[in-house]
Amino acid sequence: MKNTPQLYKYLFIIFLSSVFLQSCKTLETQKKANSMNSAMQLYRESIRWAEWPTVLSLYKPEPGNTDISPPQSHDLNMLKTIRITDVQKAGVNLNEEQTRAQTSIFIEYHLDNSNSIKSINHPMNWWYNDEFKTWYTSTPLPDFLNNAE
């Protein structure tokens, strides 16, 4: 059994390699989760302060989706008539691969021609773009004008 120390050396190298690979995977997963939180925060803050071009820049249909035209609710003139009073994060659910997420935000707002505060719960789907290392929502903005709440 002269080769026993050599065997332990190889086993130790294999063990260290597997620990290293798992650490890399964990770091990548954490980066995607942090990136999702940053994208959601940017989305919420942009809605809250009516930075509509920024909000719209976070909207992209998923690859393979044939509906590439922006929804009607993305009309900037209409969006300028909305006054957001509050935006709250209601939840985030990431899939195991960290490539898809379902989130929800609660928005309170009023229209320029009204003093009545309305609220809307806005569930959203997000997808991760590996090429650009960023998250996009594939969910259009809510229909603020026709919201009955």
For residues 45-67, average pLDDT: 88
Looking at residue 27, its pLDDT comes to 63
pLDDT, averaged across the chain: 83
CB 122 within 8 A of CB 108: no
For residues 110-119, average pLDDT: 92
Own/partner pairs for 109-117, CB < 8 Å, 24+ apart? Answer: 109/82, 109/83, 109/84, 109/85, 109/144, 110/82, 110/83, 110/85, 111/81, 111/82, 111/83, 111/144, 111/145, 112/81, 112/82, 112/83, 113/81, 117/85
pLDDT one-digit tens code per residue, 86-110: 999 988 899 988 899 999 999 999 9
Looking at residue 11, its pLDDT comes to 67
Q: How confident is the model at residue 31 (pLDDT cuts 50, 70, 90)?
A: confident
Is the pLDDT at 21 greater than 60, yes or no? Answer: no
The pTM of the full predicted model, rounded to 2 decimals, is 0.77
Is the pLDDT at 73 greater than 50, yes or no? Answer: no
